[in-house]
Amino acid sequence: MKTEAHYIIPLDQQIWWPRQKRWQTPEGVGLLEEQIIRLPSVFSHLARRLGFNEAFARCHSETTAQTQVTEPSRPCVLTSEVPGPKSRELSARLNSYQNTDAVHFFVDYERSHGNYVVDVDGNCLLDIFTQISSLPLGYNHPRLVEVSKRPENMITLINRPALGSYPPIDFVDRLVNSLMSVAPPGLSQMQTMGCGTCSIESGQKAVYMAYQRRLRGSRPYSQDEMNTSLMNQSPGSPKLSFLSFTNAFHGRCMGALGMSHAKWFHKLDFPVPDWPIARFPQLQYPLEEFTRENQEEEKRCLDQVRELIEAWAKRGEPVAGICVEPVQAEGGDNHASAAFFQGLQDICDETGVYLMLDEVQTGGGTTGKFWAHEHFQLKHSPDVVTFSKKLLSGGFFFTEELRPTEGYRIYNTWIGDPMRLILFEHVLKEIKDGGLIANAEQVGQQLQDGLKALQIEFPGLLQKARGLGALCAVDVPTVELRDSILQRMRNKGVHLGGCGTSTIRLRPSLMFRSHHADIFLDTLWTTLKEMNKV
Amino acid sequence: MKTEAHYIIPLDQQIWWPRQKRWQTPEGVGLLEEQIIRLPSVFSHLARRLGFNEAFARCHSETTAQTQVTEPSRPCVLTSEVPGPKSRELSARLNSYQNTDAVHFFVDYERSHGNYVVDVDGNCLLDIFTQISSLPLGYNHPRLVEVSKRPENMITLINRPALGSYPPIDFVDRLVNSLMSVAPPGLSQMQTMGCGTCSIESGQKAVYMAYQRRLRGSRPYSQDEMNTSLMNQSPGSPKLSFLSFTNAFHGRCMGALGMSHAKWFHKLDFPVPDWPIARFPQLQYPLEEFTRENQEEEKRCLDQVRELIEAWAKRGEPVAGICVEPVQAEGGDNHASAAFFQGLQDICDETGVYLMLDEVQTGGGTTGKFWAHEHFQLKHSPDVVTFSKKLLSGGFFFTEELRPTEGYRIYNTWIGDPMRLILFEHVLKEIKDGGLIANAEQVGQQLQDGLKALQIEFPGLLQKARGLGALCAVDVPTVELRDSILQRMRNKGVHLGGCGTSTIRLRPSLMFRSHHADIFLDTLWTTLKEMNKV
CA distance B437 to A510: 47
The answer for residues whose C-beta is within 8 angstroms of residue A280's C-beta and 6 or more apart is A245, A246, A247, A248, A301, A324, A328, A331, A334, A336
Taking contacts as CB-CB distances below 8 angstroms, the residues of chain A near B419 are 157
Q: What is the mean pLDDT of residues B221-236?
A: 98
Give the helix/strand (H/E) hosting A243. strand A241-245
In total, chain A counts a number of residues equal to 534
Give the pLDDT band (50/70/90) at residue A9.
Answer: very low
Q: Strand, helix or coil at B479?
A: helix
For residue B292, the 8-state DSSP code is: H
Handedness of CA A181, A186, A189, A190 (dihedral sign): negative
Measured in degrees and rounded to the nearest 5, phi and psi for residue B232 equal 65, 25
Question: Which residue from A373, A422, A418 is spatially nearest to A397, judged by alpha carbons?
Answer: A373
In this model, does residue A25 exceed pLDDT 90?
no
Q: What is the mean pLDDT of chain B?
A: 90
Which one of A239, A270, A312 would you mutate to disrupt binding with B, by most B Cβ within 10 Å of its Cβ?
Answer: A270
Is residue A156 within 8 A of residue A413, CB to CB? The reply is no
Q: Is B274–A233 a contact, with Cβ atoms under 8 angstroms apart?
A: yes
Quick one: pLDDT at residue A533?
83
Helices A436-457, A514-533: axis angle to 10 degrees equals 20
> In percent, how much of chain A has pLDDT > 90?
86
Q: What is the mean pLDDT of residues A291-319?
A: 98
- C-alpha of A487 from chain center: 22
Taking contacts as CB-CB distances below 8 angstroms, the residues of chain A near B202 are 252
Q: What is the mean pLDDT of residues B241-256?
A: 98
Q: Tell me the C-alpha to C-alpha distance, in Å, between residue A124 and each of A73, A86, A374, A474, B3.
A: 10, 14, 35, 24, 58
In this model, does residue B22 exceed pLDDT 90?
no
| B308-332 confidence digits (pLDDT tens) | 999 999 999 999 999 999 999 999 9
Question: Which residue from B12, B31, B49 is spatially nearest to B457, judged by alpha carbons?
Answer: B49
Q: Is A237–B180 a contact, with Cβ atoms under 8 angstroms apart?
A: no
Q: Is A201–B147 a contact, with Cβ atoms under 8 angstroms apart?
A: no
In this model, does residue B95 exceed pLDDT 90?
yes
CA distance A292 to A299: 11
Quick one: pLDDT at residue A48?
53
Could you tell me the domains of chain B? 2-60 (no CATH), 85-143+435-533 (3.90.1150.10), 161-416 (3.40.640.10)
CA distance A141 to A426: 10
Residue B322, burial from CB neighbour count under 10 angstroms (0-12, 13-18, 19+): buried
CA distance A378 to A299: 17
Q: Tell me the C-alpha to C-alpha distance, in Å, between residue A396 and each of A383, A405, B156, B403.
A: 10, 17, 26, 33
Neighbouring CB atoms inside 10 A of B319's CB total 24
Quick one: pLDDT at residue A13?
41
CA distance B140 to A154: 10
Is residue B44 within 8 A of residue B55, CB to CB? The reply is no
| A373-404 confidence digits (pLDDT tens) | 999 999 999 999 999 999 999 999 999 999 99
Q: Tell me the C-alpha to C-alpha distance, in Å, between residue A69 and each of A140, A443, A513, B246.
A: 9, 17, 12, 56
When CB atoms are compared, the residue of B155, B196, B246 closest to A140 is B155
Give the helix/strand (H/E) hosting B419. helix B418-433
Taking contacts as CB-CB distances below 8 angstroms, the residues of chain A near B110 are 152, 155, 169
In this model, does residue B180 exceed pLDDT 90?
yes
| B400-435 confidence digits (pLDDT tens) | 999 999 999 999 999 999 999 999 999 999 999 999
CA distance A104 to A101: 8
Quick one: pLDDT at residue A45?
56
Q: What is the mean pLDDT of residues A462-485?
A: 98
- C-alpha of A372 from chain center: 9
Question: Which residue from A462, A513, A468 is spatially nearest to A485, judged by alpha carbons?
Answer: A462
Is residue B196 within 8 A of residue B251, CB to CB? The reply is yes
Q: What is the mean pLDDT of residues B200-229?
A: 98
Give the pLDDT band (50/70/90) at residue A70.
Answer: confident
Ranked by mean pLDDT, which of A28-37, A321-330, B25-34 comes out on top?
A321-330
> In percent, how much of chain A has pLDDT > 70?
87
A358 included as an active-site residue: yes
> In percent, how much of chain B has pLDDT > 70?
87
Q: What is the mean pLDDT of residues B195-210?
A: 98
Is residue A160 within 8 A of residue A417, CB to CB? The reply is yes
The answer for residues whose C-beta is within 8 angstroms of residue A147's C-beta and 6 or more apart is A153, A422, A423, A426, B158
Q: What is the mean pLDDT of residues B80-105?
A: 98
In this model, does residue A166 exceed pLDDT 50?
yes
Strands A354-358 and A334-335: unpaired
Give the helix/strand (H/E) hosting B245. strand B241-245
Quick one: pLDDT at residue A43?
56
Quick one: pLDDT at residue B69?
75
| A475-523 confidence digits (pLDDT tens) | 999 999 999 999 999 999 999 999 999 999 999 999 999 999 999 999 9
Quick one: pLDDT at residue A29?
34
Determine which one of A43, A119, A366, A389 is catalytic: A389
Question: Which residue from B472, B420, B430, B361 is spatially nearest to B128, judged by alpha carbons?
Answer: B472
Quick one: pLDDT at residue B60?
27
Quick one: pLDDT at residue B443?
98
Query: What Rg do the C-alpha atoms of chain B give, in angstroms?
Result: 25
Q: Is A226–B198 a contact, with Cβ atoms under 8 angstroms apart?
A: no
| B364-382 confidence digits (pLDDT tens) | 999 999 999 999 999 999 9
Q: Is A226–B268 a contact, with Cβ atoms under 8 angstroms apart?
A: yes
Quick one: pLDDT at residue B28?
38
Neighbouring CB atoms inside 10 A of A211's CB total 21
Q: Is A109–B159 a contact, with Cβ atoms under 8 angstroms apart?
A: yes
Q: What is the mean pLDDT of chain A?
A: 90
Q: What is the mean pLDDT of residues A205-214?
A: 98
| A177-192 confidence digits (pLDDT tens) | 999 999 999 999 999 9
Size of interface A-B (CB pairs under 8 A): 387
Give the helix/strand (H/E) hosting A341. helix A338-351
When CB atoms are compared, the residue of A105, A172, A221 closest to B93 is A172
Q: What is the mean pLDDT of residues B237-264?
A: 98
CA distance B329 to B507: 10
CA distance B223 to B231: 13
Query: What Rg do the C-alpha atoms of chain A give, in angstroms?
Result: 25
Give the pLDDT band (50/70/90) at residue A224.
Answer: very high
CA distance B136 to B431: 9
Taking contacts as CB-CB distances below 8 angstroms, the residues of chain A near B149 are 151, 154
Give the pLDDT band (50/70/90) at residue A11.
Answer: very low
Sheet with B494-495, side-by-side order of all strands: B116-118, B124-127, B494-495
In this model, does residue B48 exceed pLDDT 80?
no
Q: Strand, helix or coil at A60?
A: strand
For residue A43, the 8-state DSSP code is: G
Give the pLDDT band (50/70/90) at residue B275.
Answer: very high
Question: Which residue from B26, B23, B21 is spatially nearest to B52, judged by alpha carbons?
Answer: B26
Is residue A421 within 8 A of residue A167, CB to CB? The reply is no
The answer for residues whose C-beta is within 8 angstroms of residue A8's C-beta and 6 or more apart is A34, A35, A36, A52, A53, A55
In this model, does residue A27 exceed pLDDT 80?
no
The reply to whether A99 touches chain B by the CB within 8 Å rule is yes
Angle at alpha carbon of residue B34, lines to B33 and B39, rounded to 5°: 115
Give the pLDDT band (50/70/90) at residue B47.
Answer: low
